[in-house]
A and B are shown apart, each in its own frame.
Chain A
Amino acid sequence: MTVTTAAGTAARLTHVTKSFGPQQVLDDISVDVAPGEFVTLLGASGCGKSTLLNLVAGLDAPTTGTIEVPGGRPALMFQEHALFPWLTAGKNIELALKMRGMPRADRTDEAERLLRLVRLRGAYTKRVHELSGGMRQRVALARALAQDSRLLLMDEPFAALDAITRDVLHEELTRVWSETNVAVLFVTHNVREAVRLAERVVLLSSRPGRVARQWEVGIPHPRRIEDADVAALSVEITEQLRGEIRRHGQH
């Protein structure tokens, strides 16, 4: 395994493969994420999206290949909010600040600032169960941002939300991303969501996961999921995705 200098990238995956026993899940994945870039990984079931994120997050090690994340340990947001129910919203964020090594005196102010960033001013003392699904995901986003990592990994973070809330959080995420300059690697199986959010869409094939094709999304912000440009590109990507899925029915 060669260690190359990865200056000028937020994450660099080089020929990454991953097997669980005899089953190969990921095959020769090479993806670069530039600093501040928004990339979505798109794929059907069995493409190993979540496995790939776990590898980048350092929760698991690749079988072969290298993963470089120069900006330190990446932040990770899950499909469920994964907030700690024994802490208030503010204290959840403060715990991440503490683990990052921020002195106690600065933590409360920083937690309040992050809550304002996700438009949850005044939610500091709220318990997790007192928040709605959308509010919980925004606190989870604030907690992820509290790690001050240069790379934010998101594992279908809006999949469990209702359509109206998801739409609002797309807008919110785009705003927070443009204000913070964090690079985002966003996993989803929702083609429109991928096109709505990303600068670049990476389509993975299934079993094993390989990079099938990539698209640069040149549509200017603000975008809406209903926009004609978004819809047109989504149709093109969906066709390719369906082709990938059909191949599995043939053997």
Chain B
Amino acid sequence: MASTETQPATTEPRPDDERATSAAATTAARETPAPGSDLAGLEAGLDALDTHATARPALGEALRHKVLPPVLAVVLVLALWQAAFALDLKPDYQLPGPLMVWDALAEEWYKGTILGVVWQSVSRGALGFGVALVAGTPLGLLVARVRPVRAAIGPILSGLQSLPSVAWVPAAIIWFGLTNATIYAVVLLGAVPSIANGLVAGVDRIDPLHLRAGKVIGARGLRGVRHVLLPAALPGYIAGLKQGWAFSWRSLMAAELIATSPELGVGLGRLLDTGRSYQDMPLVLGAILLILLVGIGIELLVFAPVERRVLRHRGLLR
């Protein structure tokens, strides 16, 4: 039966191993009376010795390590800005202080328009991103899995990523005029290649062993795509989605800034343009700040939690 020299590992768990042994030890205890328990006990001991329980850090510690540094960085930047303003390095109309920018934003807030402006842009960005998601996912899957398609459009797709989507604005205006279609066309041309490329990268990085294992258990064809290929490619896909959102948002701002028309409503890009035309530097900086905040906010509230969850489940996050 089981080798006796390793037996002490199970019968005398070291006190410092208590945390790791507890789960397996209960299994062993339950099965002790059964015949062949020698092996069961040995196995439970091995399992306990080889398993390392990982505890998530306490909330206080997490706050200190994750929240404090960025807050300090923001405070530092504001302090430097205020110092530059106080030293009059540039005239006020070129370099307003943080408080002047705050006042400009507060003024927009009291006019009651600012939420509408932000929502105009965010809803456009979200809709454009949604359509890009629906278009980019099958496209990425085709490029990743069908060899001729990959040879034909793979290089074009990755090339499109390096083309700034603002370059499409004049073309889109000629095609669609000053309409929402122009704005969405630019957003899609920016985001679809990112999402498709992300999925291609995700599929390329799948461990071939997982694909073979999927085939062996009978996950072939569409079932293989659904149960093995897509979940295996998920980390790369999510990275692609994050980038896709960043590209949507950038393209949207470029489009709103250039394609201005009363019929298009006022988004953040338009607010920026208004500030420029009135030489209103506090408003311009305020609009830039809002664009930045929305971009960071969506990243932190939507993509970061999903990504962390996926990576933690796979043991890819410490």
- Asked if residues B218 and A99 are in contact (CB atoms below 8 Å), the reply is yes
What are 18 A-B pairs at a CB distance below 8 A?
A59-B212, A73-B216, A75-B217, A80-B209, A82-B209, A84-B210, A84-B213, A100-B218, A121-B30, A121-B31, A130-B51, A131-B51, A134-B46, A143-B217, A164-B46, A168-B42, A172-B39, A175-B36
Q: Are B26 and A122 in contact (CB under 8 A)?
A: yes
Shortest CB-to-CB span from B222 to chain A, Å, is 12
Contacts known (A99-B218, A100-B218, A172-B39); A164 close to B315, Cβ less than 8 A: no
The verdict on B227 contacting chain A, using a C-beta distance below 8 Å, is yes
| Contacting pair B209 A73 (CB below 8 A) | no
Q: Are A78 and B234 in contact (CB under 8 A)?
A: no
When the two chains form the complex, which single residue of A86, A99, A119, A222 contacts B1, counting CB atoms closer than 8 Å? Answer: A222
Q: Are A78 and B213 in contact (CB under 8 A)?
A: yes
Which residues of chain A (60-88) have a CB below 8 Å from chain B? 73, 75-76, 78, 80, 82-87
> Nearest 3 CB-CB pairs, A to B?
A129-B315, A132-B50, A99-B218
B27 touches A82 (CB 8 A): no
0/1 string, B6-28, CB within 8 A of A gives 1: 10000000000000000100110
- Set of chain A residues within 8 Å of B3, measured between Cβ atoms: 164, 167
Is there an interface contact between B212 and A82, defined as CB atoms closer than 8 Å?
yes
Decide yes or no whether B47 CB sits under 8 A from chain A. Answer: yes
Identify which of residues 201-224 in chain B touch chain A, using a CB-to-CB cut-off of 8 Å: 209-210, 212-213, 215-219, 223
Contact A164 B6, CB 8 Å, known A84-B213, A119-B40, A119-B43: yes
Q: Does B173 contact A (CB under 8 A)?
A: no
Complex CA gap A87/B210 in Å reads 12
- Which B residues touch A100, using CB under 8 A? 217-218
- In the complex, the answer to whether B2 meets A168 with C-beta atoms within 8 Å is yes
- Contact residues of B between 239 and 282, Cβ < 8 Å to A: none
Query: In chain B, what residue has the closest Cβ to A132?
Result: B50
> Which single member of B42, B215, B219, B313 contacts A86 (CB below 8 Å)?
B313
Number of interface residues of B (CB under 8 A): 40
1/0 per position for A79-106, CB-CB distance to B under 8 A?
0101111110000000110111000000
Partner of B47, one of A135, A167, A171: A135
The answer to the question of A111 belonging to the interface, with a C-beta cut-off of 8 Å to chain B, is: no
A168 interface neighbour in B43, B216, B227, B315, Cβ under 8 Å? B43
Q: Is the CB of B314 within 8 A of A85?
A: yes
| Residues on B with beta carbons closer than 8 Å to the beta carbon of A135 | 47, 50-51
Which residue on A lies nearest to B38, using beta carbons?
Answer: A171
> Interface size (A, Cβ < 8 Å)?
41
Listed in ascending order, the chain A residues whose CB lies under 8 Å from chain B are 57, 59, 73, 75-76, 78, 80, 82-87, 95-96, 98-100, 119, 121-122, 127-135, 143, 146-147, 164-165, 167-168, 171-172, 175, 222
State A165–B46 Cα separation when bound (angstroms): 7
The residue on B at minimum CB distance from A129 is B315
> Given known contacts A99-B218, A119-B27, A121-B27, is B213 in contact with A168 (CB within 8 Å)?
no
In the complex, A134→B209 CA distance in Å? 18
The closest CB in chain B to the CB of A88 belongs to B313
Q: Distance in Å from the Cβ of A81 to the closest Cβ of chain B?
A: 9
Closest CB-CB distance, A67 to chain B, in whole Å? Answer: 15
Shortest A227–chain B CB gap in Å is 12
Whether B144 is near chain A, meaning CB under 8 Å from some CB there, is: no
**Shortest CB–CB separation between residue A206 and chain B, in angstroms?**
24
Write the nearest CB–CB distance from B311 to chain A, whole angstroms: 10
Bound Cα distance from A99 to B214, whole angstroms: 10
Asked whether B51 lies within 8 Å of A85 as measured between CB atoms, the reply is: no
Contact across chains for B212 and A85 when beta carbons are under 8 A apart: no
- B232 interface residue per 8 A CB criterion: yes
Q: Is B122 an interface residue (CB 8 A)?
A: no
Closest A residue by C-beta to B1: A222
B217 pairs with A95, CB closer than 8 A: yes
Query: Which among A95, A133, A222 has the highest number of chain B CB atoms within 10 Å?
Result: A95
A90 CB → nearest B CB, Å:
14
Chain B residues with CB under 8 Å of A130's CB are: 51, 54, 315
A175 to B42, CA, bound (A): 15
Kindly report which residue of chain B lies nearest to residue A101, judged by CB atoms. Answer: B218
Task: Decide if A122 touches B231 in the complex (CB within 8 Å).
Answer: no
